[in-house]
Amino acid sequence: MRYLVTGGAGFIGSHYVRSLMSPGWTSADVTSVTVLDALTYAGNRANLDPVGDDPRLTFVHGDICDADLVDGLIAEADAVVHFAAESHVDRSIDGARVFVHTNVIGTQTLLEAALRHRTARFVHVSTDEVYGSIDEGSWTESAPVAPNSPYSASKASSDLIALAYARTHGLDIVVTRCSNNYGPYQFPEKVIPLFVTNLLDGANVPLYGDGENVRDWLHVDDHCRGIDLVLHGGRPAEVYNIGGGTELSNKELTGRLLEACGADWSRVDRVADRKGHDRRYSVDITRIHDELGYEPKTDFATGLAETVDWYRTRRDWWEPLKSRAALAK
């Protein structure tokens, strides 16, 4: 199978690519993997270094909004796994235009090429944030989207466009919606790597509002296994939730990170809450479990300890990223 992976130099995309290159990880015969990535601030070629010598891997530096480039790449692919997106809520609040351009127009550009070439399989990777906030229970895939941030609104829009192409044109497209990911190689603006790297450097960490906002945590390896199951067995024009099964308030998560880094609550700065901050996300994974046999395998305590240890030992990876981010402010 010939794969095109958009955003394959980012956190989740690069984990998926590294996994594809691992013997026995997927049931498919992986003949080639082409990564298309614009290498914006969160894309990093170094994320692909562990598989950089694999002759099956081709890296293309480019934009998913470049119709001519996308057309040529999709013409040579049997499957498209679409990770590429602007994905940070705070950045979307400060400036939404790039989120709409990349997440909506970029997705539609890919879909048009998939339509021209009748691509065999297209997986559109999305987020549980499109459902909005839920006080009790968990969102099923049939729940209407009700996004509350410019980021989640742009992702909800791209989800609906992808499903419309599937239903209108009969394309083999499926959408996945995941909960909060964590693991190695995550850009240090997201909460776990931000808090860990700050604490390792002796700096404080910011905790929004009362700290009672709840998220479900999903190890990136479990997420990528779920995507692979959907790629090979999911039903066209359907949505599959992928969750981790560990719900924690931001305050509870902060406590675990402080303990893992040998710090105490004096290192926490209470800051004003984020605008439109969703109170709780929770997805029901019954569909992917019952149809495809998915269940999360990474125990959160183990996964978090391994993640903290990775950042502790990989300053060579994250220190340059934080230095560049500081200079850009």
Active site residue 319: no
Active site residue 128: yes
Active site residue 294: no
Choice among 37, 63, 128, 221 that is catalytic: 128
Choice among 129, 141, 216, 221 that is catalytic: 129
Q: Tokens 């693991």: give the residue.
A: 183
Choice among 3, 131, 151, 185 that is catalytic: 151
* Number of CB atoms found within 10 A of residue 93's CB: 15
Catalytic (active-site) positions: 128-129, 151
